[in-house]
Structure 1
Amino acid sequence: MINTITLNPSLDYIVKVDSFKVDSLNRIAEERIYAGGKGINVSIVLKNLGVANTALGYVAGFTGDEILRQIESHGVTCDFIKLKEGFSRINVKLKSDGETEINGSGPDIKNEDLKILYEKLSHLTKGDFLILSGSIPNSVPDDIYESIMSSLADRGVEFIVDATKDLLLKVLKFKPFLIKPNHHELAEMFDVELKSDEDIIKYGRKLQEMGAKNVLISMAGDGAILLPENSEAIKREVPKGELKNSVGAGDSMVAGFLCGYLRNKDIDEAFKMGIATGSASAFSEELATKDEVDNLLKQIV
């Protein structure tokens, strides 16, 4: 079974204003509201690709109810913990001459709430995948990912981690099956400037030396580099298309990679599927669908 965790989901409110003016009335030209969170994106795309999975995390209040409604409308099984107080955050993205983001903070998660999550995860066994992705709320310990993986370390669970800097570096000792930093995050982890593919491979290998099995480094329009376990690095270009929305593209790459891997355990085929799926989301206003992914796979040689 595949499980995703989104500790701080949101309702993302995307508005477009023709020419935004400060201290003035602005009329919205276009608006959308959707459930946001990296783990949620992974769950939805996996389901779009025909892979059953369960989404876990925390929700609260009327916004939490809408988040659950939207996730379930995609056919994803939800096992979120409903908090008694507060409400799930609302993130606002204003698109006009530029882009402005305002992110909420989310509800407080107490120790008793964490115990419930650990209880749910205690049922995972060998062969299950757990995907930990995204930032964490201020109300939980900053070693939460490390603690979760430690609690499951002897159960044979495969981990996929998509997080930044210390949140990722501290869990490498648990030998995650896959990690997916982008090239900017990789540079930040080691406080270096990456000037070439060789630099990216060099520092990606350092993450493997620290414990990661497979390292997938996304580079937006410049493609991606995969460092497979016990094999040579592979670089692939992205398919051609018009960039419409970069939100969720990295999460879609993770979902596509796992979907491809589950088919026949072929890492390179998983890589192709990951690139096609990430690109399909980038070329669409919504998250990738199976038909979109299948069409882009034909471009990947």
Structure 2
Amino acid sequence: MADLQGAPIVTLDVPVVGGSSVRATSGTAGLASAELDRSERFAQMRAGELGSVHSWELVTAVDGPGTRLTAFLSGCPLRCLYCHNPDTMEMRRGEPVTATEVLARLKRYAGVLRATKGGLTVSGGEPLMQPAFTARLLRGAKELGLHTAVDTSGFLGAHVSDEMLADIDLVLLDVKSGIPETYRRVTGRELAPTLEFGRRLAESGTEIWIRFVLVPGLTDDEANVEAVAEYAASLSSVTRVEVLPFHQMGRDKWASLGLTYELEGVQPPTPELVERVRAQFRCHALQVY
């Protein structure tokens, strides 16, 4: 992996498109950055009152049910080869934004979110890199009577307290691979923490949507897919599996950051491959999308 130090920050200038099923983020437009000295910033981050925010968006039927405000936090412990937002990997690339500021934005849209049975999704990067801030956002959303979701790899699931878990209605659990060696190749990390977190979610009755990115030549091996499918089927609270075909939309960001992109020549999966993989999940009586 190339050294991330000193790489330029990627600016996202795309406007928010409310009600769209296609992602369009506003960066942090509309959210005021907090101007604090270093010690004050760290104190507020520890307390969960300040976070490093990459962007936010309003979107329908992508990050959970209904129309949702999705807050993307900066920082991630994984280095997924196919990451389409490598600019979220480092926390330093985000903007310092208070929880109060994000929740004020959420309150502005609360009526629409409730009407569509939507709510708040906290995503990343990896939101559990900032557990106190994530917990504060979730608590604020529940106080507004909104559905809550967290989009996570589960690698840092140990950071989720029982109190935080009680404020989560849905976890979008990104299971990158089912075989430990493949998972390590894809992410640079170990698979076991994700599996353990999923089991904890099922034991608590928290709804889970499994997400699996299908990359030809990397995650598409039948044994690897079968391992993910067997794991998903073993979790009693899994209600949905999303097979996400690999795409090259993030390739230019890797170049902009001066990072080596290892999947340059990889093509998106064919419709036949996507159907084969979805069929593997369906064989385990899972609802597949």
TM-score computed with the length of structure 2 as normaliser: 0.41
Q: With the length of structure 1 as denominator, give the TM-score of the two structures.
A: 0.39
